[in-house]
Amino acid sequence: MNARQPTVDDVEFRALYKKTKYTIETADGWSLVVTRYRPSPQNFPQPLLGEPMLLVHGFSQNRHAWTSGEFVKNLLFFGLDIHIVELRGHGKSSVDLQLERSAKFGRRPPSDLAWEWDIDSYFLYDIPAAVQGVKRITKRDRIFYCGHSMGGMLGYGYAGIHDDFEGIVTIGAAGDLGKGALPLKLLALAGPSLSAGIDAVLGAVNAQRSVSHAVGKVTSSVTRKPHGEAEPPRLKYRYLPVDAWLQAAAGALDYAESSPLFSRLANKVNWLARQDRMSAADIRWLLREGGEREPRKVVDQFLRWIRNGEMVCYRTGYDFKRAFGKIKVPMAIVFGDMDPLASVDSTRRVYRSAKSEYLLWRPVKGNSHIELTMGHDIRQICYDIKNLVEYARTHRHRPPLLPRIR
């Protein structure tokens, strides 16, 4: 009698990989860190052993978006070679790292270091550098790509103009951001006014602090007491402090666990996450470790996309949506059926436009946005990924199908 094959639950996570990290350089001077989970050979079948896959996180996230739950573990169980890049200013690819490397190598820091980058920066520099980095490390001509939310949207754009992917998986990634979501459209319309309001408030605070400092100097000159305080730095709206918001939310989680009513209410109010679809420990870890500041320019570009119904790289004029029809590699579009950001309405265009011979378009029942990479249903998502990679492997050297003659 054959021994029972183990399941992913039977295997210790640490037994599945050897963990390393490496640094890649972007064309505009950023150093990005990639965390690699290289699969360890096992005594059970690993159908995807050694196939490289790049994981790209979403808005205001870092590598913990993938590692807070068991997403990476499930992919390693199949033998995938996982590379998680952290976009500029996120996680290990921090602003501090750029300053350290600038001092070490005697070079100027990136010109946009003070939270001056936008989505175009991710698209034009970070994603190409990450793809080329994985290709170089693994000595592959093509790799697999998996992006969550913003990471998936960047993947759509990249796949429409480059030929580096064996296949692409997007999770919770809209092709028509804001379509079918009235609150998002209203927020986008109010965006310029909100930004102007924040600027006005900070301007008033700066003025008050300057006056207080000037009064202190006058007082010290009259009393002949030294005024040792330097003029306070001017406050400026450069980024959204998402990291601080999420850490504050982590502090409220204990109360949520002790109050079933509060938990049910949170599921109704919080559109982007279903607490009943994730473990409390994973939620707490993600809130404390997985949030990042996101530049104002990134936020403004997203809001502009929603207002104008577009997905455009403004520096080059490249239109993501027009290029959907150029995507021909195997693709899986996975989204939560309760997700207001990536829904049937907002993913339909990319599904209908893509020319992929293998094309999956699937909602995950009972899921919203965040839990798609760390919740209770990630195993079925990882099987979707497995199926796509297996298809790409078996059709790797097969010529494309010829148009049908009628």
pLDDT tens across the length of the chain (406 residues): 456 789 999 999 999 999 999 999 999 999 999 999 999 999 999 999 999 999 999 999 999 999 999 999 999 999 999 999 999 999 999 999 999 999 999 999 999 999 999 999 999 999 999 999 999 999 999 999 999 999 999 999 999 999 999 999 999 999 999 998 888 889 888 888 888 788 787 777 777 776 666 665 656 666 655 655 667 788 888 999 998 888 887 776 655 555 554 455 444 434 556 666 667 777 877 888 889 999 999 999 999 999 999 999 999 999 999 999 999 999 999 999 999 999 999 999 999 999 999 999 999 999 999 899 998 899 999 999 999 999 999 987 665 554 434 3
User: Is residue 369 domain-resident?
Assistant: yes
Give the structural domain span for 221: 182-240
Write the CATH number for 390: 3.40.50.1820
Regarding whether 210 and 175 lie in a shared domain, the answer is: no
Give the number of other CB atoms < 10 A from CB of residue 129.
Answer: 21
* Alpha helices in 59-181, H assignment, sequence order: 64-67, 71-78, 95-105, 119-121, 127-138, 150-159
Q: How far is CA 205 from CA 114, 240, 342, in A?
A: 21, 18, 38
Helix (H) or strand (E) run with residue 312 in it:
strand 312-313
Regarding whether 95 and 167 lie in a shared domain, the answer is: yes
User: Is residue 252 domain-resident?
Assistant: no
Give the separation between CA 62 and CA 56, rounded to whole angstroms.
9
What local confidence, expressed as pLDDT, does residue 256 receive?
Answer: 55
Q: How far is CA 304 from CA 93, 185, 202, 395, in A?
A: 26, 10, 23, 40
Give the separation between CA 124 and CA 126, rounded to whole angstroms.
7
pTM exceeding 0.85 = yes
User: Is residue 245 domain-resident?
Assistant: no
Regarding whether 61 and 18 lie in a shared domain, the answer is: yes
C-alpha dihedral (24, 25, 31, 37), degrees to nearest 10 = -10
User: Is residue 347 domain-resident?
Assistant: yes
User: Is residue 303 domain-resident?
Assistant: no
Domain count, the chain: 2
Regarding whether 211 and 140 lie in a shared domain, the answer is: no
What local confidence, expressed as pLDDT, does residue 324 receive?
Answer: 98
Out of 200, 224, 240, a domain closes at 240
